[in-house]
Amino acid sequence: MTDTTDKTATEDTRPSLLEKARSAMPGLHAVETGLADVSTQLRQARAGGQPEDDVADRALAAVLHGAQVPDDLGDQIVKIRRDNETALATVQALTGLQDLLHVRRRDTHAKQADSALGVLSTELDALLSQARPVLARLGDVDSADTAITSGRVDEWRQAGQLGTRYVELRDAQRIIVAAALNPPDQPRMTSRVSPEIRDLVADFGHVRQPERHYAELGTGAANRRGDQLSETRVVDGRVVFSSHTDRPLRPRPWFTGDAIADLRFVCRAGSRAWVPSVPELTRARDEHEQRKQAEARADAERTPGDEPEPRLRTDRRQPPPPVALIDRLAREELGEPV
């Protein structure tokens, strides 16, 4: 039986979101093309050298077969030296050009990051518009088995594809922000992102005003050392690790590692998902840290007598004590047997 399924309907032939975002950086394509050309020419130049001893080896083989000693041995060696010097000079020039192109590429990533992030912001809006009706039809289904029993397999599959695309978008966002704030030393841009950048984007780059949804905001980046994970304790009703840190066990509700759950969260009406520019991202972090510092100073300056008196609720009266209790207390006061 011939399979007539239209495979093009399910295959995603779109370019990766990282490629699409980086294509919006002016001048980056020319730099990338130049680097590719330099790499090709370097391989050719390094493979073009020839040892001078080859001249004597070839002459020896000719003499042993009865030929006369060539009278141009010196010319051959001079030509090899000249060719080798040219190849060496070519390698030196190409290496210098390669270094300059690497610097220009890092500068382009740093200066044009907001253009790439703007592309991702547009992609996010389109993705959420596509995901909301799918998630509405999916309802509270949270597993493939539940999707099968409830007859919502198509919705589960669509939600999984959209969740994968959402994860790809956030990965591209982290790479672009890392290239802008912490340019790598290696010449090739990779997906390796420092923990500080990863936490910065996860804390402030997914939703606006994240502290409304996550009280532990900002406690992950500075608390990654293994020697701080020795014990657990409870602080303000939350379980946290060790006496040296306030790093919570609970993950960010928009960054749990479950693609569909994360997509569900940012699709909620009050989440306000976004892809901020680099200045917006760092400003959100700085404002949060300033608020925390102000709260810490206020707590340090407050004296025990500064706490306001607790206000009694007046909307509900307490019931009077039982008659038996009043009688018992009266007998105890008078010294009578109870």
What is the model's pLDDT at position 165? 97
Bridge partners, residue 234, by sequence = 239
Torsion of CA 38, 179, 195, 162, to 10 degrees: -100
Q: Six-digit token pair at 254?
A: 């928009």
Q: Six-digit token pair at 41?
A: 């020419």
Cβ neighbours, 10 Å, residue 109: 22
Contact assessment for residue 177 and residue 201, using Cβ atoms and an 8 Å cutoff: yes
Residue 190 pLDDT more than 60? no
What is residue 51's three-state secondary structure?
Answer: coil
The model's pTM is 0.70
CA atoms within 13 A on the CB side of 123: 26
Distance CA 31, CA 121 (A): 25
Contact assessment for residue 129 and residue 267, using Cβ atoms and an 8 Å cutoff: no
Give residue 206's identity as a one-letter amino acid code: H
Scanning the chain, the segments in alpha helix (DSSP H) are: 17-22, 28-46, 53-64, 73-111, 113-138, 144-149, 153-181, 195-204, 259-267, 278-301, 323-334
Q: How would you classify the pairing of strands 232-235 and 238-241? A: antiparallel
If pLDDT is split at 50, 70 and 90, which confidence band does 303 have?
low
Calculate Rg over the CA atoms of the chain.
35
Residue 266 pLDDT more than 80? yes
- Identify the CA nearest to 102 among candidates 42, 176, 39, 47: 39
The predicted-structure confidence for 97-112, as pLDDT tens digits, reads as follows 999 999 999 999 889 9
The predicted-structure confidence for 35-73, as pLDDT tens digits, reads as follows 999 999 999 998 888 888 888 888 898 889 888 888 898
Q: Which of 63-77, 228-242, 254-268 has the highest mean pLDDT?
A: 254-268
Distance CA 18, CA 33 (A): 17
Cβ neighbours, 10 Å, residue 107: 13
Could you give the percent of the chain with pLDDT greater than 90?
52
Q: Six-digit token pair at 198?
A: 């990863």
Distance CA 184, CA 105 (A): 11
Distance CA 122, CA 185 (A): 30
Residue 219 pLDDT more than 80? no
